[in-house]
Structure 1
Amino acid sequence: MSKSVLCAVDISNGKIDAPVLKQAAKLADMDGAQLDVVTVLPDFGESWVSGFFKPDFHEKATQEAHDQLVALCEDVLGAERNATIRHVVATGTAYQEILKTAESAGSDLIVIGAHKPDFKDYLLGPNAARVVRHSDVSVYVVR
């Protein structure tokens, strides 16, 4: 029985993660669990790269990502269900931030989509494969 479900989505994919979000909501609702939805923004990498951006770029990007995440959840799940969701925007490497968010939220289930597999990751996308491999909690992969 889950108390907290974390759903990882990529807002840059538009509505491609709608089935992932719907499945996560369904699993959370079955157990009366809290639903958290996370999206991850890439970081700048090398510190010198940040010099090419305006000082408030990260804050604006984070706010825009949050707004898009809220809009996606409301569009897919409805306003009433969206009101109970915790929306999280993280910055860094996708699989690492998903795992960190799951740990800090106390999630006991992660729901993620299997996207864009290439030859080396034939069955799962690279982020889904890494989350499955490194997670301490159960991971539900939506195809």
Structure 2
Amino acid sequence: MYKKILVPIDVLEDELTKKVIPHVECLARLSNAQVIFFHALPVSSAIINAYSFGFDEFKDHATVQTEQYLHQLMDSINLPHEHVSFSIAFGHPRDEILALADEIKPDLIILGSRRPNISTHLLGSNASGVVRGAKTAVLVIR
């Protein structure tokens, strides 16, 4: 049913990620799907990385930590390693998730969301922005 599943995560929201993983594993196993984890870093990290000229030893600390977290996540998930990858971008999470989805054309986007509160109702949340803007199915896990 699904060939490609995009899984945006916030590396600072470990509890949300833990809730999402069982759904990812189950749906990916059922259809032998490719899973792409994704995290968006703030633009300040992009500026630091722009000056690094691609040398890993000069990478921004947040970028290195994010890569380490995503590698650990990939190692811990109960799926074949060749079916799991990750991507990192710089910018606003909602916008970067939608841009990556337009690029890679996943069959499904699975993301976690906290319970809405007054600030998310007034300002909008990343999950609701992805649901509104996505051109594919979105599964929101709470």
Fold match (TM-score > 0.5): yes
CA contact (8 A) 1:9 1:21 kept: no
31 and 5 in structure 1: CA distance in 2 versus 1, 3 angstrom threshold: same
Size of the aligned set, in residue pairs, is 135
CA contact (8 A) 1:15 1:72 kept: no
1:70 counterpart residue number: 71
Q: TM-score, normalised by structure 1?
A: 0.78
Amino acid at match of 2:43: D
28 and 97 in structure 1: CA distance in 2 versus 1, 3 angstrom threshold: same
Alignment deviations for residues 49-106 of structure 1 (CA, whole Å, 9 cap, x no partner): x58x99339833323311111113323x25x644531111111110111111222222
Amino acid at match of 1:103: D
Aligned-pair identity in percent equals 26
Q: TM-score, normalised by structure 2?
A: 0.79
CA contact (8 A) 2:9 2:112 kept: yes
1:29 counterpart residue number: 29
CA contact (8 A) 1:6 1:24 kept: no
1:10 counterpart residue number: 10
Structure 1, unaligned stretches of length 5 or more? none
Q: Report how far residue 141 of structure 1 moved.
A: 0.5
Please report the RMSD computed on the Cα atoms of aligned residues, expressed in angstroms.
2.8
Structure 2, unaligned stretches of length 5 or more? none
| Structure 1 residue ranges, 4+ long, deviating more than 6 angstroms after superposition | none
Alignment deviations for residues 89-132 of structure 1 (CA, whole Å, 9 cap, x no partner): 1111101111112222221100011125222546xx70000000
16 and 142 in structure 1: CA distance in 2 versus 1, 3 angstrom threshold: closer
Within the alignment, does 1:88 sit opposite 2:87 as a pair?
yes
